[in-house]
Every structure is written in structure tokens, then in C-alpha cells.
Structure 1
Amino acid sequence: MSAPMSAPDFIKRSAAHAVEQDRALSDSVARMLAELETGGEAVAQRMARDLDRFEGDIVVSDEAIAAACKRVPQKLKDDIAWAQENIARFAQAQRDSIRETEVELRPGLVAGQRLIPVQAAGCYVPGGRYSHIASAMMTVTTAKIAGVPHIAAVSPPRADAPAGVPDAILYTLNLCGADRVLALGGIQGVAAMAFGLFGLPRADILVGPGNQYVAEAKRLLYGRVGIDMVAGPTDSLVIADRTADPLVVAWDLIGQAEHGANSPVWLVTDSAELATEVARLAPLCAEELPEPNRSAAKAAWDGLGEIILCKDRDEMAAEADRIAPEHLHVQAADLDWWKGRLCCYGSLFLGEDSTVAFGDKAAGTNHVLPTSGAARYTGGLSVHKFLKTVTWQQVDHRALPRLAAVTASISRFEGMEGHARTADIRLARLGQNS
């Protein structure tokens, strides 16, 4: 009988603990959604005025988008196009990996599957403290490759943007193929897509990251519409052994901590020397950032950063699987072993030359990923989220006798006589027609 695995040591432990769902926030979001569903566009416009201080046009016109595109510097356009091509090519590879299927299970019994895109997708593009160009690419491009006929996008309006939505985001949405753009954020933006306001079709699915109000609105609407996931604060874990560069590791942790004070980061290592040096360097890296990034990174590192010392790579892998991070970065020897062993993560970054920021912005894999341990049971946004895998079947006289008899037998054992009769009548009709 093998000895139980020892628990890892915490060189630095999180000062914060998980909190229960904020009931006041949930109740507030529910009230706002109900008001928006009843009052429609007038309520959405009032909320835009009250919450975002925005009184411009909610629907961004084609002319405004064209003007915004002209204002975007060519270098930024080229960079966005390069990244968007990577995202589109990876999404296309995902789409090509699944196919429609038809199989004759028994003589005369044919079954199959079809891949049908949803008819309308709603993409939320954050635009508060940061202008998330990348989120526009990740959501709209992926829906487009999946074949969604109508793609709407909403983004919070900003006073410094001529059309409400920043020029670079409008350029990106236009490049990626959004059919309609609204200068509308928060709960009212989510509601506009879900309820079909401002000329939008009602969304079949809502995707994209957002703040806690956006996440709660999506959670409450789930069931009436599909959603990509219920997302919490972004998180990131680095696995590093003695071969890793402590400064690179420290920057990879702090680079993700700048998302906000509620963004956890972890270092899992089997090297006490590396752990000690990263603990020394990480606060120094945070100090180098400009504000408000500096304060956000320092708060996240101080309150939620952890350094976990394990005895070997098996314990390191087990600890990473337990945490199930959104982003998992391996800076250790034998990358093939890690790729084959690890199983709970949103996206995996292998080797020192990879970094989470590459996946966040331009490498091609999607950055809309499961957080808060949800990587134990789901992956991130992909073309699969926009496709319905539906099944069909067709039966002829060769398969009918046995199929009807088995169905009637199982149905009667279950006590479902009506089901059995639907099989019986077909068997009787077959006998009459033979």
C-alpha cells in the first residue's frame, strides 16, 4: 500500500479566502434586468445616461464606423490584422476538426449528426479602464468562423471616443465581421442583446468577458439564452523548476496580477531557491508599473498571490490540477511530459518563450477562458460554443421489427405504456403492409 502524498508547503499564502455570492449584487442585477425587459430601449438609454454619462447614439452607424477606421493608425491596423488572422486560422482549424456524421447502425437504421450554428450571437467587449481590442477579436472572429448569421457587439461608451466606442475597437469589430455595434455597456448592454433591443435579433448566446455586473447578468439570463461561461476574476498559475529564470517568472505573475486586486496568481515549484527569489522580485516588478496597474498588481500579489513548494513534479502537477487555473504556464524541463500529464486548465502555455500575454492578445488561441476552478469541467470559448451538435435518425422496414420490439419492451418495463404503443402501432402497420 503506497504512502499518502505529503502536502506541499506554502512559501507565500493568500491572505484572502473565497466569499459567498454577493446577494445584494445579484438582487440589484435582477431588478435592472427586469426593468430593462419591461421598459426596453428607453430604460437602456436612461441607464447609459445615468451610469456611463453617455447621451450619444446607442447604435453606431456605418458612417461612424468608417470614420473611426480612418482614424486608427496604420501600424495598429496591421498589428490587429496579424493577430486576427491567427485567431481566425485557429478557429477554422477547430471548425475543421468536427464534422457532420451519418452511420448505418443496423440495416435500415441510419443515424447522424448535423452541426448548426446559432442564429444570433451577442458579444460583450469590455471598455472601461482598458480598451479590449483582443476581446473583440476573440469573440466576433470565432462566431464568424462558426457560421453565425448575425453577430452583435456591445461595448461601454467613453467620453473621449467620437462614436462612443473607441476607434480601435470599432475598427476591430468591423474587421472581424460584427453586423451591429452598440455603444452600450454593463447590464444594459447585455440586456440589449438578450432582449433584442435597438433593432437586434434576440441573441441565442451571449459571450465575452466583463465585470461582476456583466457576469451576474449573464448568469441570471442563462437558460433563456446560452452563455459561454460564468466568469470570475482572471487567474494565472506558473509551474517552474530550477531551470526557470526567476525574473521571467516574477514578471509573468505580476503581468497577470495587473488585471486587478481580485486576480489570483500562483507559483508552484520544487525549487526553494527559485521560490525565495521570485518572492523577492515580484514586488519589485510591480513597483515598475505605471498607475493604476501598479496598485492593482501590488494588491493582487499581496492579497491573493501564493508560492507553493512541492517535493517533485508529480506533486506540482497534482497541485496545478487541484487549483485548475484559467492560465497555466509551464517553465520547466521535459515539456512533453507536462503537456501529457496536466489536465485542468483553461489554456496551457509551454516553455519560457511562451507567455500568457501572447494568448491574451495575438497567438491565436482564445482568451475567453474558465476561471475560479471551472477548468476542472469546461474549456474556453471556441467555435464549438456557437455550434449545436444535433442528431437525426431514419428507419425503414428492415430495422423496424427489432427496433419496435426492443423499444416496447423497455418502455413497458419502465411503466411508459404510451411509448410502447407508439412502437406497437408501427410494428402492426408493417405487418399489414407486408
Structure 2
Amino acid sequence: MSFVLKAAGGTQHVRTSDPAVVDTVAAVIADIRSSGDAAVRRYSEAFDKWSPEQFRLSNDEVSAIVSSVPETVLDDLRFAQKQIGNFARHQRESLQDFEVETLPGVYLGQRNVPVNASGAYVPGGRYPLTASAHMTVLTAKVAGVERVAATTPPNQGTPPPVSVAAMHLAGADEIYVLGGVQAIAALALGTETIGAVDILTGPGNAYVAEAKRQLFGEVGIDLFAGPTETLIVADESADPFTVAVDLLSQAEHGPDSPCVLITTSEALGRAVLDHIEDLLPGLQTNAIAGPAWRDHGEVHVTDTIAEAYTLADRFASEHVQILTESPRDALDAMRNYGALFLGEGTCVPYGDKVIGTNHVLPTLGAARYTGGLWVGKFLKTLTYQEVRDPAASARIGEICGRLSRLERFEGHARSGDLRAAKFGGAPLDWAELPTRSSIG
């Protein structure tokens, strides 16, 4: 029987928005919808104290900013982007166009076509999340998106150099220094100077997330994002110090970030609690990680590893790290997670920053029904049909007519009847047939 060694001290996250955030975001979107660039500039001035001559960086400005970044930083960005691009290309190659003859003379096909334009939001508030540029810009370009417009907020009144460099190296076609709801709304709706996109991607604060939620339908989005989540499944073979370090590595994302340990060893669970208490005071991000662990940290003890996996599946966490004697067993035992990290040699920050998989992942239980951002999110899987054999069209037409009348769709039925008559000689007994003379 499982028991709880540490329960979360705060309230559980739910998939609802703060009414004040909802109202604020709705007002900003409505204003930008009606006033375009003028409204975008007002909100940028009000929220970010930022009102340049134009929000889009010119090619010369981008070049100057990138040249100001140390070469070692650029090399690290290139390394990360090489890994992420390589994995995205393998994903793209796994998606095949095809055409198949399902009946004699009946051909059905599928094509994977990229959207025309994508918008990538790269946060720059608490942390400059340059990795988001790799995940949102580069993945879109690998998918074949012709135009990728990337945006990031100003940092203390200037464009953030490393973020701009990351977006540029990732292949962004347009780079804007613009943040918050005004950036999301401008990309989704389009203004006099900012072209509208077809899909919005990238994380952000509660206002950015709410803007994406309200604009979903007018444009596509990657995911409805919540606080970063991590869950570790560990048995008695795990190193409790490593477990503690890895839990805190994700707690620093935000004071509302859930950090959960499920273990088959009570002794390990207690040792992890002790290590966390020792580590937190010396962690530079303790002001954030401390409240996250206090209010949203949990430790559960189960009798068996099978129970641990079952419980982990119920959490459906964004990140699931497996620190057990046989970590690959989780591939068969689990199905609800954003991404799995198998074994002590693999940690969640690898996925966040550099290893190659995408870090835009489902939260708040969404891993029960969806995976994370990937190259396929930028593609539309489109189908087509062609009946070349008249006899096949006649046969399908007869069946289509009967099935349509079961659903009381007479117009549908007549389209089928027409083919059955035209290509197979079936009689038509409609009361009126304006096109009768054309059948033969």
C-alpha cells in the first residue's frame, strides 16, 4: 500500500484562468484588433517601457547584435541547435506522403504540407529562455514553414543579445523585439507592419498563455501551457543526492512548479527530503525553488515498482525521470508523460536545453491525450481522392446513395445516384431531374 511522505502544501493547479487575467487579455486583443500598430505601441510602452521606431530588427541590427555575443556562446547555441535540428529532421522523415489503390480504379492519398507562417514567442522575463528559440523556430523551419516570425521582449530597454542570436541562428525570417499579449495578438491578428501567422508557439507567463487560449481558433497553437512539472520514479538503487538535485533543477522554473518523487524505498525518500533541506539555502534560485518545493513538492512511497508506474501515469507529468535499476522498463509500463528521461545519465535539463528532443510539452494532465511540440505540429496532413474506374464510381455511388438516405441526406444521396446512373446505367427515379439530359 502506498503512502505519502510529503504532501503538497499549496493548492492543486486547475486548468482555469484568473478572471482578472482573462479580462485584461481580452481588452488588449480587442484594442489591437481594431487599432493595430497604434495599440501594439501603447501596450509596449505601458508594459515594457519600449517604443522603438520599429519593432522588427533590420538585418544590419541583427548582425550587429549577433556579433556582440561571445563566440563560445554562439558555439554552444550552434551545438544545441544541431542536436534539435537533427532530431526534428528524423521526425520529418518519418512522415511519409503516400497514394494507395484501395479498390480497382480508386486512389486515395495523403500529403504532409507545412503551414505558410509560424509565430515563435521566446520569453525574456524571469529568465531569457533562449532554448525556446531552438524548439519553436528551428523545428518549424525543418518542417518546411516558409515564414517564421520570432519575437522576444526587450531586456531593460534593449534587445536581448543572446535571445536574438538564438532566433537568428535557428533560422527566423523576421525577428521582433516585442513582448507579452501585444506580441501574441499582433502575430495572430496581423497589423499594418506585422504579418499574421497561422500557428503560435512558445511558452510565456499567464497573460501570454491566456492570449494564446483566447486566439486559438483564429490561429493554431502548440499547447495550453501550465507551470513546469517534473516527476521522478526511483527505486532503492537510486542515489538520493542525485534525486534531490534533479527535483530542484525543475523547482526553479517557478514558485508554482510541481516536483514529485515516487519511490519504492522509504529510506531513499527520507534521504531525499534531507538533501533538499541542505541544498535549498545555497541555491541561487532558492526564492523561487523554495516555495515550489514547499507548496508543490510531494514524496510518495509505494510497495512495488509497478505501483509506482501506475501512480506516475495518474499524474501525467510534463517531465518523468526514471532512476531505477531497469529504467527502460518504463517504456512499456507508462503511457502518460510529456517526455521520459531514462537512467542516471539523463536529466530533465538535457531535454530543456540541448539533447535534441523538444521541450514544449503538455502540462496539467494534458499528457493523457497529447504529446508535445514536434515537427508534425507545423504540418497539415491533407488527403485527396480520385476514382478513375467508371465501374468503381458506379458501385460506390449506389452504396453512397443508400447510406446517405439512412441519415436523411437526400442531396448527398443524389450525388451518389448520379454517378451510379452515369457510369453504371442504374435507373433514376427522382421526381425532378434538371440534369437528366446530360446523363448518358
Q: TM-score with structure 2 length normalisation?
A: 0.94
Deviation at 1:199, TM superposition (A): 3.1
RMSD of aligned Cα (Å): 1.2
Per the alignment, residue 428 of structure 2 pairs with none
1:252-267 to 2 correspondences below 5 Å: 252-267=246-261
Whichever of the two has the greater Rg, that structure is: 2
Aligned residue for 2:210, secondary structure, equals helix
- The one-letter code sitting in structure 2 at the alignment partner of 1:117 is P
Q: Distance in 2 between matches of 1:337 and 1:359?
A: 20
Match of 1:196 among 175, 190, 195: 190
Secondary structure of the equivalent of 1:399?
A: helix
Counterpart of 2:238 (choices 235, 244, 256) is 244
Deviations 1:208-257 (A, max 9, x none): 00011000000011111100010001110011111111111001001100
* Aligned equivalent of 2:372: 380
Equivalent-residue separation in structure 2 for 1:134 and 1:198 (angstroms): 30
- The CA distance in 2 between the partners of 1:284 and 1:299, in whole Å, is 15
The separation in 2 between residues aligned to 1:60 and 1:191, in whole angstroms, is 19
Matched, 1:138 2:131: no
Q: Output the CA distance in 2 between the equivalents of 1:177 and 1:247.
A: 40
- Offset, 1:123: 0.4
2:343 to 336, 351, 365: 351
- One-letter code aligned to 2:407: E
Extract unaligned runs of 5+ from structure 1: 1-5
Partner of 2:4: 10
Q: Alpha-carbon deviation of 1:41?
A: 0.6
Q: Which residue of 1 aligns with 2:386?
A: 394
State the distance in 2 between where 1:109 and 1:201 align.
41
Name the amino acid aligned to 2:108.
A
Amino acid at match of 2:315: I
Deviations 1:46-82 (A, max 9, x none): 1111100112231111111000111010111111101
Q: Deviations over 1:171-228 (max 9, x none)?
A: 1111111011111111001011101235333111000000110000000111111000
Q: Residues of 2 paired with 1:106 and 1:83: CA distance? A: 48
**Mapped partners of 1:399, 1:185: distance in 2:** 57
Question: Offset of 1:431 from its aligned partner?
Answer: 4.2
Query: Which residue of 1 is the match for residue 114 of structure 2?
Result: 117
Whether 2:97 is the aligned partner of 1:103: answer: no
Name 2:432's counterpart in structure 1. Answer: none
- Secondary structure of the residue aligned to 1:430 is helix
Please say if 1:371 is aligned against 2:363.
yes
Q: What residue identity is the alignment partner of 1:222?
A: F
Q: Which residue pairs with 1:3 in the alignment?
A: none
2:425 aligned with 1:428: no
Aligned residues: 423
Partners in 2 of 1:133 and 1:192 — Cα distance? Answer: 21
Structure 2 CA distance for aligned equivalents of residues 328 and 285 of structure 1: 22
Runs in 1 of length 4+ with deviation above 2 angstroms?
17-21, 197-201, 431-434
Read off the aligned partner of 1:426 and give its amino acid letter.
Answer: R
Q: Unaligned regions of 5+ residues in structure 2, if any?
A: 426-438
- Which of these residues, 35, 48, 52, is aligned with residue 48 of structure 2? 52
Matched-pair contact (CA < 8 Å) for 1:401–1:427:
yes
1:148 is matched with 145
> Retained in 2: the 8 A contact 1:120–1:201?
no
Q: Is the 8 A contact 2:17 2:210 kept in 1?
A: no
Identity of aligned residues (%): 43
Measured after TM superposition, the shift of residue 338 of structure 1 is: 1.4
Corresponding residue for residue 228 of structure 1: 222
- In structure 1, what residue type is equivalent to 2:156? A
- Quick one: distance in 1 between partners of 2:254 and 2:93? 37
Deviates more, 1:49-58 or 1:194-203: 194-203
Matched, 1:360 2:371: no
Deviations 1:348-376 (A, max 9, x none): 10000100000000000000000111111
TM-score normalized with structure 1 length: 0.95
Q: Is the 8 A contact 1:60 1:182 kept in 2?
A: yes
Provide the rounded CA distance (Å) in 2 between the counterparts of 1:215 and 1:198: 24
